[in-house]
Structure 1
Amino acid sequence: MKPISLAALAAPVLVQAGLRFGCSTLTIQRVDPVVEPGAAPAAHLHHIVGGGHFNMTMEGDVGAKDGCTTCVMSEDLSNYWTAVLYFKARNGSYHRVPVINNAALDRGTVGGMTIYYTPFDFTTDGLKTQGRIRSFPPGFRMTVGSPTTNTLDQAQKHIGLRYNCLQTLINRGRELADLPTVPCPAGIFAIHHFPACWDGKNLDSPNHQDHMYNTKIRDGFTNAPACPASHPVRMPQLTYETVWDTTKFNDKSLWPEDSSQQPFVWSYTSSGTEKTNGYGTHADYMFGWKGDSLQRAMDQNDCFYDGCGSLKKQAMTEANKCKVRDMVVDNIDGCKSRLKLSRFGLRGEVKTP
């Protein structure tokens, strides 16, 4: 891992900034350049949005390369990904749940995610005492959550990793630590808040988390306390929102006969762990903003939601042209047997360009 000098992080004027924007789906593949670089296939399937440089291995300054992105912010070549949601039917078959775009995103957004970069979660309280919001540096990466989390107590300690049972795309209802156990009228909403305190030195760490620290004490977009001395650098609060269209599976006759069993499972789920599957929700991030574009946005007061004069935007018709090759031959849509999902594409082969 490459160290970064704190001396390079000079502190200028303090102002508020916040971004909220959409990214269409880039690809759905069993590839993970953060946790399993070079693996083909990776342990489980991922839903990926963002930069077109996404590959099995990604090193260096991703934003310095020419390329496309599925995000409306055309200077953002970062990649954002989570596991993929499946429905396990009563007969034991698995069916991939499609992603639909969140409410109020740019017209033409296809599936994808809503991405946030915010300071202290929509408040200015921290600016007087906590200093400047500093952009992630080139080559930075991190993860949040863990697929091995398997108890409610452990899941509740992952502040900001939550679900909503959508009544409509706007009416979310309360946040849950586990997947909903009833049919949701408008789908399942998955939220991933990342930690925002950096050690100021390391672009990564062996478990992809120790170089960051989470000071959030409540779920949702709430103000986070000051960073500790061990991780003194306040970064943007990065958040993903994904809407999984579970409505096509709302027929209760398709659900398990045992009403206590959860029919929705993540792609990292092994057979027999369905009841605790939702606790292990997690997400990965690979920074790739061009130059100082994200830092400029964090330094300016004209950035809130997607209205930011300092950043370049593109039409989603252009963003949707961004594609990557299939790196693993895989069955991603479903399985007719009771095989664990991590065995989808076990015989997958690497595709050459």
Structure 2
Amino acid sequence: MKWLSLALAMAGSSEAYLRFGCGTLTVERLDPIVEPGKVPSSHVHQIVGGNAFNASMDPAKGDIANKATCTTCQFTEDLSNYWTAVMYFRARNGSYKRVPQYPNALLGNLNGGMTVYYLQQDFNSNKQKVTSFKPGFRMTVGSPGVTKNTHPGLRYTCLQDIMTRGSETYDFPTKPCPAGIMAIHHFPACWDGKNLDSPNHQDHMYNTVKGGFMPAGACPSSHPVRMPQVALETMWNTTMFNDKSLWPADGSQPFVWSYDDSKGSGTHGDYLFGWKGDALQRTMDSTPLLSNGLKTQSVAQQNACSIKPTVKEEIDGWLTHLPGSGSMSGM
């Protein structure tokens, strides 16, 4: 399915979702949810959102929405942070180079980043009660330790052009993609109503996602509270690596996540809530969602929001090892 078809469907149901772009805030080895306080963390992440992001982000030390002074996201009241692993190209000689990101075609000249969705049920309905996340809430989806991906919300699209949608796969595409690879992360939307986090950062949530942007199933009694359905789309510009002579001699696909996953099964995403005040709840309660007074900013203002890197290491250029995987040098 092409993006035009999806866009037309969205246009007829604009009351049922938020869709906005968030530019890159930083790219480095930090993970305040899974490895809080560890500098550096085990692998590189690309992070978007509010500039309160740091290695720890202890919820006991205050709401990040009150600490951030800017955000790379379109809505200025969204000071949350969202992040995924980073994609690298592994050359035939064993060296690595980071794959650049680019924004969705409808988001303007953003500095990389991703497209963020908040849905109530699907693109066509906002009739059910949806409860906003609370200050201190955090969750993850997927895991770098997974070797076979069966999660219906974690997919890839081999982009034939920048508008391509559909033809999703559970693992990395196996052939060169004319316009790059889109990584898709759908988070669970059923909450236990009690815990803002859990030891594995997932058990306080329950997944009823059926895949894509289809309506999620009903929440179970163990996790009865319906929360917004958060989804992320990240566009990776793999086109500079489409020359098959650069690929492994056996013809296998050459892309790896920054934790050294060449199949793509361990793809994962992290979410740390940081909307100001009742902005998200107010939006979820409104009809239509997009006309409830959320404040927006220009792409230039989004791109101007940044933080100073915490981890001092080379993550670009040609590298002999993935950052964190052993001794490393530029090539």
Same fold (TM over 0.5): yes
Q: Can you list the C-alpha shifts for 1:248-304, whole angstroms capped at 9, x where unaligned?
A: 000111000101x220000011xxx63x3x00000000000000001111111122x
Pairs within 5 Å for 1:307-346: 307-337=290-320, 339-343=321-325
Distance 1:222 1:104 in 2: 22
Aligned residue for 2:5? none
Match 1:290 to one of 276, 279, 302: 276
Please point out which of 169, 187, 191 is paired with 1:198. 191
- Matching of residues 148-163 of structure 1 within 5 Å: 148-151=145-148, 155-156=149-150, 158-163=151-156
What amino acid is aligned across from residue 190 of structure 2 in structure 1? C
* TM superposition shift of 1:341: 4.8
Aligned to 1:268: 259
- What's the offset of the Cα at 1:335? 4.4
- State the Cα distance separating 1:220 from its structure 2 match: 0.6
Residues 109-155 of structure 1: CA deviation (Å, up to 9, x unaligned)? 1211000000112232x83xxx410110111000000001112xxx1
Pick the aligned partner of 1:301 from 256, 263, 287: 287
Q: Distance in 2 between matches of 1:136 and 1:173?
A: 29
Alpha-carbon offset, residue 309 of structure 1: 3.6
SS in structure 2 of the partner of residue 104 of structure 1: helix
Root-mean-square deviation (Å): 1.8
1:255 corresponds in structure 2 to 247
Q: How many residues align?
A: 313
Q: Distance in 1 between matches of 2:306 and 2:88?
A: 23
2:139 to 115, 118, 142: 142
Query: How far is the alpha carbon of 1:310 from its aligned partner?
Result: 2.0
Match of 1:72 in 2: 74
Name the structure 2 match of 1:115.
116
Give the Å deviation of 1:63.
Answer: 1.2
Q: Tell me, yes or no, if the aligned pair for 1:160 and 1:191 is still in contact at 8 Å.
A: yes
Residues 56 and 184 from structure 1, CA distance in 2 versus in 1: closer, same or farther, beyond 3 angstroms?
A: same
> 176, 179, 204: which is aligned to 2:172?
179
Summarize the Cα distance change of 1:177–1:66 in structure 2 as closer, same or farther, 3 Å threshold: closer
The alpha-carbon deviation at position 346 of structure 1 amounts to: 7.3
Give the superposition deviation at 1:342.
Answer: 3.4
- The verdict on how the C-alpha distance between 1:331 and 1:114 changes in structure 2, with shifts beyond 3 A counting, is same
Aligned CA distance change for structure 1 residues 171 and 59 (closer, same or farther; 3 Å): same
Residue of structure 2 in register with 1:212 after alignment: 205
Distance 2:313 2:327 in 1: 4
- Structure 1 gap ranges (5+): 1-15, 348-353
Partner Cα distance (2:327, 2:74) in 1: 32
Going from structure 1 to structure 2, the CA distance change for 1:39 and 1:345 (only over 3 Å counts) comes to farther
Once the 2 structures are TM-superposed, how far is the Cα of residue 64 of structure 1 from its aligned partner? Answer: 2.4
SS of residue paired to 2:89: strand
Q: Deviations over 1:179-219 (max 9, x none)?
A: 011110000000000000000000000000000000123x2
**Aligned partner of 1:246: which letter?**
T
Deviation at 1:244, TM superposition (A): 0.1
Aligned equivalents of 2:314, 2:122: Cα separation in 1: 39
Assess if the C-alpha contact under 8 Å between 2:103 and 2:109 holds in 1: no
One-letter code of the match for 2:255? F
The CA distance in 1 between the partners of 2:77 and 2:58, in whole Å, is 18
Alpha carbons 2:286, 2:292 under 8 Å: kept? no
Per the TM alignment, residue 340 of structure 1 is displaced from its structure 2 partner at its CA by 5.0
Residue matched to 1:91: 93
Cα distance change of structure 1 residues 279 and 178 upon mapping to structure 2, 3 Å threshold: same
Tell me how far apart the structure 2 counterparts of residues 318 and 90 of structure 1 sit (CA, whole Å): 40
